[in-house]
Structure 1
Amino acid sequence: MPNIRKDLNIAGVNLWYLVGLITSDGCLCKDGRHVDITAKDQDFLQLIKDRMGLASRVCAKNKNTPKQAYRIQIANKGFYDFLLLIGLMPNKSLILKDIKVPSQFFSDFLRGLIDGDGCIRKWIHPSNDGEQWSIRIYSGSPKFIRWLKNIIESLLKIRGKLYKQSKSQWILKYGKMAAREIARRCYYKDCLGLNRKIKLAQECLVSYQGWNQSKTVYG
């Protein structure tokens, strides 16, 4: 496995959270060196920059337009080669397959996926006024999303449902008890993550009054 250059100083939970974020919301440029991460939240990318010790600046993208966002680039061939080796590639959206993630860091990888291209949602059930929760993860690659569903079931003992929304959009959904268990495993105390989703995950963890054990969680 290629070494990540020491000047990046990224390892352990931070590394695999970053891999999850790049898998969902990142782009490997075709030059074989640059990795681009885009987000709407400038403070979030600044947090990534600071925690990872990156030298690059957080820059505006599509400035002064309705599509304005922010991005940061990582310019490091060793890191780029590492990402290729574990299963990422340029133009990955529709062709991504499995990612070689160590089992002890899978929850951090999954948190990166959810923060990048996932959704933690709360609503009130219209008939019983009960609080409902779900976690959804979106992907354009059927092979990747099926692998993800299987590995979550294998490692975390949590079952989800897979839906095909369109020709190029798949949704992996976890409801209520399953969502709470993912929140517990992924959004632990002082974890690195998107602040808005950390708060939602914490709220989900304390919103279990009247919930019963579900067949979707069997660990």
Structure 2
Amino acid sequence: MPRKLGITDEDMIKMYKSNMSKSNMSFKEMTTITGLSDRAIRNVMYKHGVKMNREPSSGQPRKHKVNENFFKTWSHEMTWVLGIFVTDGHISQHTHTIYFSQKDERILRLIAKYMEADYVLAPTGPTKKTPTLIINSKEIKNDLAKLGIHTKKSLNVPFPEVPDEYLPSFIRGVIDGDGWVQPKGYVMNITTGSLLFAEGLFKVFKKWKLRTEITTEISQAGNTIYRTWVKGKIRIT
């Protein structure tokens, strides 16, 4: 959809800010004035760092807030959360929703803090007792897809191309998400159903000159489980 002649980014930002307090103003109404689609208008706001308090797709107030740009920029906080999500998160097939499940609610609260999200937990019940943080955002779901993380990721998730600077934070998130550390001694392993991810971990630990290996076993469902181990406190020279 072409932008109407004479409409600049600055014009749209002024238009949006001047109408943020008016409950009847929506992105859809702005499309009539600017000639751009809802998504194009939203991208203009993202480009200029304009904080939005309306639901991008409909212009209605967002029920629960979240920083929709969170997975767009590498940082130690972002990569830690990404590590947790890769190992212990879930993407809905039918809605624009992602979930973080953790027995330790302190981790969920920290995730919500980093993502500037409302702390909204899924209902629990007799068969669902683990606290689960809910994040609703089509943009975040799309950004995760760009990183190779899709629905039904457990058996084929790749190891993301994380910049070296942020790899330690990513690995820490992976361990917090689905790692096991021996209470006494120097043994740790990370469990995954994805061979690609296990091999990515193996390469990182080798690069860091740690004693590492991958072992396998078959789950009750008949799938192969991969465990990437680090054993011993002394590095390989």
Superposed displacement of residue 122, structure 1: 2.5
- Quick one: which of 90, 114, 119 aligns to 2:151? 90
Look up the match of 1:21: 84
Instruction: Output the CA distance in 2 between the equivalents of 1:42 and 1:103.
Output: 29
1:54-101 CA deviation, whole Å, 9 max, x = no partner? Answer: 12413443x3x3751111122122221111111111001111223121
- Quick one: which of 218, 222, 226 aligns to 1:170? 226
Q: Is residue 102 of structure 1 aligned with residue 171 of structure 2? A: no
Secondary structure of 2:228's partner? Answer: strand
Instruction: Output the CA distance in 1 between the equivalents of 2:95 and 2:235.
Output: 46
Look up the match of 1:38: 101
Q: Relative to 1, partners in 2 of residues 1:58 and 1:43: Cα closer, same or farther, differing over 3 Å?
A: farther
Look up the match of 2:199: 146
Max radius of gyration: which structure?
A: 2
- Identity, in percent, stands at 21
The letter for the 1-side match of 2:224 is S
Q: Relative to 1, partners in 2 of residues 1:97 and 1:47: Cα closer, same or farther, differing over 3 Å?
A: closer
Secondary structure of 2:183's partner? Answer: strand
Gaps of 5+ in 2: 1-42, 52-65
Root mean square deviation of aligned Cα = 2.4
Instruction: Output the CA distance in 2 between the equivalents of 1:152 and 1:164.
Output: 18
Contact 1:134 1:176 in 2 (8 A): yes
Instruction: Output the CA distance in 2 between the equivalents of 1:31 and 1:59.
Output: 16
Instruction: Output the CA distance in 1 between the equivalents of 2:204 and 2:171.
Output: 10
The letter for the 2-side match of 1:137 is I
Residue pairs, 1:1-219, within 5 angstroms = 8=67, 10=70, 12-31=75-94, 33-61=96-124, 63=125, 65=126, 68-123=129-184, 132-154=185-207, 156-166=208-218, 167-177=223-233, 213-215=234-236, 218=237
The letter for the 2-side match of 1:18 is V
The letter for the 2-side match of 1:145 is A
Instruction: Please report the TM-score for the alignment, with normalisation by the length of structure 1.
Output: 0.68
Gaps of 5+ in 1: 124-131, 178-212
The letter for the 2-side match of 1:50 is K
The letter for the 2-side match of 1:175 is K
The letter for the 2-side match of 1:107 is P
Superposed displacement of residue 47, structure 1: 2.5
Superposed displacement of residue 165, structure 1: 2.1
Superposed displacement of residue 153, structure 1: 1.9
Secondary structure of 1:122's partner? Answer: coil
Contact 1:28 1:91 in 2 (8 A): yes
Higher strand share: 1
Contact 1:60 1:69 in 2 (8 A): no
Q: Which structure carries more relative contact order (alpha carbon 8 Å, separation 6+)?
A: 1
Instruction: Output the CA distance in 2 between the equivalents of 1:67 and 1:45.
Output: 16
Q: Relative to 1, partners in 2 of residues 1:159 and 1:18: Cα closer, same or farther, differing over 3 Å?
A: same
